[in-house]
Structure 1
């Protein structure tokens, strides 16, 4: 079986993922150079792989090559099912129906159309809403016959790895934040081996740019990807400030930047249930840390004689958060670790360390929201072991105390000729409706 590799246009004013019957292979697909066709290899999924409970023939399973990361570097590729991916059933070039793969990568349709039938798999998830695109905003996709599809081509296997990782991360976040509503749509911009002048991954609101270089393999670096997802969550819940400075927060960093970088590393570990933080380049592990056993020296500790607003390392923060998170019953500690983000740091009146939200403000919220829980652990690990001079003296408001509300700027006045733009800075095409 051969798979056709596609990139689907996903930008304002062009046929998108919901183009219906008009979004056929000829209208929006852009064939990749030197990768127009892919041999899927043997499709040994068993004699019943194409059957669902209702007996439909329009079913199958989607797997892709994934490379696990360890201290030794990236391992050999192994088949992994992709959960939550969008699968489009196409007959004679027209869309018939859509489905989502389950946790085992399986999909099925009740429709059994006639004619030339195939499926198109998108690196796109409806719940939670995630799309993996190239730098131009085209969604990664591939087409093939109905049944078992295994993706080995690096570009598309990498896109599915990105989708799989971030989908798992958002599902964990929904539980940790007790969130019932869907998250805002997330777009992940990535092209294997390509970067920008900045040369590092970063988040801009509802977009994550996963960047590296010709030999970087961030698509398989799960700890790094979930760290970047942590920045997206900081945007969603607004519990962090981003001061000017190098995004690679290390030792002697502005305390707000250290918090802005340290929390995502903690989130990455919590979401995986694993304190390791690894980043590979060229298949070799370049960063290999364990948040559960960081050294008690160097950049991993503070300065006991300095003020609480001192410059410090993101790793001191990430390790301390992970220590609290893993110090007791997981359900209890998860609630204590995430509640301050939405019940304390969202109030501008709670600012006691450096100006802006930082590690001190989180610790204040941890103690106040949880009625002093883990005070002894904070004193032992943060103050004594990590030598950060937190004073354990937050000002916890009495029940019923009104919150301090941020002032609201007056509405902007748009003068004639002003170019209106959306939140990503794209100009708007405005259509005037006659009355």
Structure 2
């Protein structure tokens, strides 16, 4: 769910505020690499080479006089040397380093390895490389215990499974002094500088926090320190903290595996894993650019009035300033295990970071059509969840019931699928999952979903008023779920048809759009007559 939004005017961009902060999570290594900008879509005769990589997972090539894009498979990454190709090996985690030979260091930047020369020998260590001898070090692996949906998608698995904690910030301390920091690699490995002899208070701390391009913490999962039922507007208390887990150096010297148990709050680690994946996915799609600095609030036992929701509301908390917030329920449903739900909320974050939200929020239900603006916002978020996880199935647990929606089959475990009717026009109420299914089928018809991300950030989707003329509504629902107190605010708002205009106007095949919308019988989008700027 996305709440009413505030922030920049159309055409402006929110950027992180520089703030003073306290505590170990503030440590950062500022990159000296030049800023990357989003590479524009080009015609075939404008490409600087017959093919190129648009980030670590999208390959672009000229074939038969037309530009074609291809998403690399999950276990491959796009490289440009010696030839442009998707090669085996997952995209690396930003900030991780490694030695490639005795004097060559590589640092992961924007999901790909970048060479750095060492003036002295490069010293290799698990999950890390050093230019020069680092002195005493300690290597280990961080994992966290988590649950998954069972095979029938009816409950969470009864047994927990340890999985690698990738992209977590890890810091070594000697007493109260920070010695070293890095991020865990894809396997959860780390190597940190440590004292030559260990004292009782020397320790390693793992934070559910990740760095942005400037090296400062830009996304994190935090405990709000507010028990029980809370409104989203509740101000985090003095007890609020970024989730972290500590082991003494003595403990790790005898057993280097660092496993966060469920009783320690491994659910927060699961949320951070999804948050880190979303951060990387968006950077892959938008030329390495960061999204809005975001904090996800998860307190076990804390429930929010919105359930799970997102808004680009600024807050200063846990030692820094954030431009956006997620609120996740900490109740007995244990929905923090739903990667799909968490990624859905982060789909709203992507829209707030690179597009424009319809700003149409209110109660909505699975299988129940809602206003076009809300359906577009929620549908995009669900589609992003499936695209980022590379699975057509969305799932969540609410009210003690685990339910699923399959976009590829237009099927749901809890309600009949509601299709639009062509005779009701573009401005009809639509089921948000139908919007998600249209996006899913549109993307599935092409080797790359990159055009959908490009359309979201296109000028036509970020400049009011929008061509199709929709205006946002406010409403409530009565005890039976029926609409009440509906008000047309008269304020312009984008919806699915505007997005499809942006997509087709960028050259996306009309036939693929028609196959997804089925305009003669279902959503009557006129792909042959897009409204282009």
Report TM bin, short chain.
0.7 to 0.9
- Aligned with 1:230: secondary structure? helix
Partners of 1:51 and 1:57 within 8 A in 2:
no
Correspondences of 1:31-46 after superposition (within 5 Å):
none
- Deviation digits for residues 104-123 of structure 1 (CA, Å, limit 9, x no counterpart): 11111245443413211111
Indicate which of 242, 254, 272 corresponds to 1:139: 242
Query: Is 1:309 aligned to residue 309 of structure 2?
Result: no
Corresponding position: 1:120 with 2:205: yes
Contact map agreement 2:275 2:343 (CA 8 A) in 1: yes
Could you tell me which residue of structure 2 aligns to residue 27 of structure 1?
none
SS at match of 1:305: helix
Instruction: Identify the match of residue 357 of structure 1 among 469, 480, 494.
Output: 494
Q: What is the CA deviation profile of residues 274-298 of structure 1, one whole-angstrom value per residue up to 9, with x for unaligned ones?
A: 000111258x652211111105996
- Measured in 2, the distance between the counterparts of 1:103 and 1:51 equals 9
Which among 227, 231, 235 is matched to residue 344 of structure 2? 227
> Aligned pair 1:323/2:445, yes or no?
no
| Partner residue in 1 for 2:145 | 65
Which shows bigger deviation, 197-206 or 162-171?
197-206
- For structure 1, the 5+ residue unaligned runs are 1-11, 21-48, 398-435
Q: How many residues align?
A: 351
* 1:197 to 2:312 alignment: no
If asked which structure has higher relative contact order (CA below 8 Å, sep 6+), I would say 2
1:216 aligns with 2:349: no
Is 1:265 the counterpart of 2:382? The answer is yes
Tell me the C-alpha RMSD between the 2 structures: 2.8
- Residue 223 of structure 1 and its aligned partner are, at CA, apart by 0.4
Q: Which moved more, 1:222-231 or 1:49-58?
A: 49-58
**2:518 maps to which residue?**
383
- Find the residue that maps to 1:389 and give its secondary structure: coil
Call closer, same or farther: CA 1:389–1:259 in 2, change over 3 Å. same
Q: Where does the alignment leave 5 or more consecutive residues of structure 2 unmatched?
A: 1-18, 28-124, 225-235, 314-322, 472-492
Q: Residue 395 of structure 1 aligns with which residue?
A: 531
Partner Cα distance (2:176, 2:246) in 1? 11
Greater Cα offset, 132-141 or 256-265:
132-141
Cα distance, 1:248 vs structure 2? 4.7
Alignment partners' CA distance in 1, 2:309 and 2:223: 14
1:400 is aligned to none
Mapped to 1, the partners of 2:338 and 2:532 lie a distance apart of: 40
Picking from 461, 465, 490, the partner of 1:345 is 461
The answer on 1:367 being equivalent to 2:496 is no
> 1:63 & 1:388 partners in 2: Cα distance?
46
Alignment deviations for residues 33-75 of structure 1 (CA, whole Å, 9 cap, x no partner): xxxxxxxxxxxxxxxx989777854221111101122414212
Once the 2 structures are TM-superposed, how far is the Cα of residue 225 of structure 1 from its aligned partner? Answer: 0.3
Q: Comparing both structures, which one devotes a greater share of its residues to strand?
A: 2
Q: 1:144 to 1:385 in 2, by over 3 A?
A: farther
CA contact (8 A) 1:58 1:112 kept: no
1:155–1:192: 8 Å Cα contact kept in structure 2?
Answer: no
Change (3 A) 1:225 1:18: closer
The question of 1:15 aligning with 2:15 is answered no
Q: Which has the higher helix share?
A: 1
Distance 1:244 1:121, change over 3 A: closer
Once the two structures are TM-superposed, the CA of residue 141 in structure 1 deviates from its matched residue by: 1.1
Check whether the contact 1:252–1:311 (CA below 8 A) recurs between aligned residues: yes
- Judged with a 3 Å threshold, the aligned counterparts in structure 2 of structure 1 residues 236 and 265 are, in CA distance, closer, same or farther, namely same
- Aligned pair 1:161/2:244, yes or no? no
Q: TM-score scaled to structure 1, two decimals?
A: 0.73
Please give the alpha-carbon distance, in whole angstroms, between the structure 1 residues aligned to 2:275 and 2:127.
Answer: 29
Query: Is the CA contact (8 Å cut-off) linking 1:193 and 1:216 kept in structure 2?
Result: no
How far residue 99 of structure 1 moved from its aligned partner, in angstroms, is 1.5
1:24 aligned partner? none
Q: Are residues 249 and 386 of structure 1, via their aligned partners in 2, closer, same or farther at CA, if it must alter by over 3 Å? A: farther
Scaled by the length of structure 2, the TM-score of the pair is 0.61
Q: How far does residue 93 in structure 1 lie from its aligned partner after superposition? A: 3.2
Distance 1:309 1:18, change over 3 A: same
In structure 2, the residue matched to 1:414 is none
